[in-house]
Chain A
Amino acid sequence: MSREVEEMNRRLLRARDAMDRAYAEPLNVPAVAAVAHLSEAHFIRCFRAAFGETPHRYLQRRRVERSMFLLRETERSVTDICFDVGFTSRGTFSRMFREIVGEAPSDYREGHGPMVAPNCFQLWAMRPRMAAGPATQSSSFGDDGAAAAP
Chain B
Amino acid sequence: MITKLNVTSIMVLDKDEALDFYVNKLGLEKGQDVKQGSYRWLTVRVPGDATEISLEEPGSPIHDEATAAQIRELITKGALGGLVFKADDIRGLYETLKSRGVTDFTQEPTDHFYGTDMGIRDPFGNAIRILQQGKVANKARA
Contact = CB atoms under 8 A, between A and B. Distances in A.
A62 to B, nearest CB: 12
15 contacts: A2-B72, A2-B73, A5-B73, A5-B76, A6-B76, A10-B125, A13-B76, A13-B78, A13-B121, A14-B121, A17-B106, A20-B106, A21-B107, A50-B77, A120-B119
A9 B125 contact: yes
| Size class of the contact patch on chain B | 20 to 34
A6 B121 CA distance: 15
Contacts, number: 48
A124 B84 CA distance: 13
A119 interface: yes
B69 interface: yes
B117 interface: yes
B72 A6 contact: yes
Contacts of B117: 118-120
A120 B77 contact: no
A31 B62 CA distance: 40
Nearest to A8: B76
Interface of A: 2, 5-7, 9-10, 12-14, 16-17, 20-21, 50-51, 118-120, 124
B129 interface: yes
Interface string B106-127: 1100101010010101001101
B104 interface: yes
Contacts of A51: 77
Given A20-B106, A118-B112, A13 B72 contact: no
Contacts of A2: 69, 72-73
Contact of A13 (B107, B119, B125): B125
